[in-house]
Copies of this chain bind each other. A is one copy, B any other.
Amino acid sequence: MDAPFHLPKEALMTMDYVKEVLDGSPRAAARLISWLEDEDERGHACMEQLYAHTGKAYVIGITGSPGAGKSTLTDKLTHALRRKGLTVGIVAVDPSSPFTGGALLGDRVRMSRLSTDPGVFIRSMATRGFLGGLAKATADVVKVLDASGKDVVVIETVGVGQDEVDIIGIADTTCLVLVPGLGDAIQSMKAGIMEIADVFVLNKADHAGADQLWAEVTFRIEQDASIKPGSWVRSVVKTVAVEDQGVVDLIVAIEQHRHWLEQTGKFQEQRRQRTRQETLRMIHNELFRRVRQHLTDSGALDQLVEEILNRQRDPYSIMRELLGNVFNQPVHL
């Protein structure tokens, strides 16, 4: 690969890593992901060169409440995909409390079983930056795994808030894992997540209340289908993940959704919409990173906060002065 002359010097320093990621090296992929997480400038320099090689992997999202069995299901799904000869990347995201930092349940268990397979790459993301950088970071990792040649990338995340809706929004097909007996309160919390599900997975289908849940979900699907004719009629799959039951049915449901997306042109439309959001989010994150860095490095922020607290200044006029002419001119690219 020849070094294009218009690339910045960081790009030239990273050519070897780019080549290794494209060749499927898990070590190079892990290094690149660390650069991206640490906001090391070599991260974006690599991504500029890798981007042309992305867009090939099919991205599956697995979401649901804590305790729904997402990790186990992701494991079994991965094993089933491997048996079909497909390589798999897993991004397990846990946007936990900003106070504890948080840890990823089941991660060690999973690592011991899948990590010896060179056709599988697993990355956990548990930390979070200030103000929602996790969706951008997840999108980056998905692209790295995509460029490294994985056929399928699975994003697994807890389904509770807007962060998770943004994260799972990266997926081509989103599976919502429900379990019997978690009660109405939880169901009502998941309103946002319910709406972005393409496939409902009724896990622990051998537990009491599974039939009731099936009836509720089916009713919901029929209702939605009657409101929005021509849209994807969402499917329901019963699984008992711990016993590896129903996982093949889940793959069939995902493949049907993929087929529907491709036949209707929605696949390209959905990726266009996501590229749009992703590009905006990326520019925004980087711009904010720069502002924050300059305000904190210079000590200006500490000074401003004191003046605001004493009511000598106000944050609104500071914002007006600080941002001044940023993007007040038309953009030419």
Whether A27 is near chain B, meaning CB under 8 Å from some CB there, is: no
The residue that A283 contacts in the complex, of B98, B191, B282, B288, with Cβ under 8 A, is B288
Q: Chain B residues near A130 (CB, 8 Å)?
A: 277, 280
Interface string of A66-79 (1 = CB under 8 A from B): 11000000000000
Which residues of B have CB within 8 Å of A251?
none
Quick check: A330 and B294 within 8 Å, CB to CB?
yes
Contact segment of A16-24, A215-223, A258-266, A298-306: A298-306
Selected from B96, B164, B281, B314, the residue in CB contact (under 8 A) with A192 is B96
In angstroms, Cα B292 to Cα A186, docked, is: 34
**A254-285 interface code vs B (CB 8 A; 1 in, 0 out):** 00000000000000100110011111111110
Known: A47-B316, A301-B280, A308-B275. A290 touches B52 (CB 8 A): no
A31–B216 alpha-carbon span in the complex (Å): 42
In the docked arrangement, what's the CA distance between A54 and B332, Å? 41
* Known contacts A272-B305, A275-B305; A128 and B47 CB within 8 A of each other: no
CA of A74 to CA of B44 in the docked complex: distance in angstroms? 47
Copies of the polypeptide in the assembly:
2
Please determine whether A97 and B195 come into contact, CB atoms closer than 8 angstroms: yes
A65: interface (CB < 8 Å)? yes
Given A132-B162, A284-B287: A196 and B99 interface contact (C-beta under 8 Å): yes
CA distance A296 to B276 in the complex (A): 10
Tell whether A116 is near chain B: CB-to-CB under 8 Å.
Answer: no
A326: interface (CB < 8 Å): yes
Q: Chain B contacts of A192 at CB under 8 A? A: 96-99
Contact B272–A320 (Cβ < 8 Å): no
Is A3 at the interface (CB under 8 A from chain B)? Answer: no
CB <8 Å contact, A320 and B48: yes
* B-binding residues in A (CB < 8 A): 8, 44, 47-48, 51-52, 54-55, 65-67, 95-100, 102, 128, 130-132, 158, 160-166, 182-186, 188-189, 191-192, 194-196, 268, 271-272, 275-284, 286-288, 290-295, 298, 300-301, 303-306, 308-309, 311, 314-323, 326-328, 330-333
30 contacts between A and B (CB under 8 A): A51-B311, A51-B315, A52-B314, A66-B188, A67-B185, A96-B191, A96-B192, A97-B192, A130-B280, A131-B166, A182-B185, A186-B186, A272-B306, A272-B309, A275-B308, A279-B305, A279-B315, A280-B288, A280-B291, A280-B292, A282-B319, A283-B319, A284-B291, A287-B291, A290-B327, A290-B328, A294-B330, A294-B331, A304-B333, A322-B331
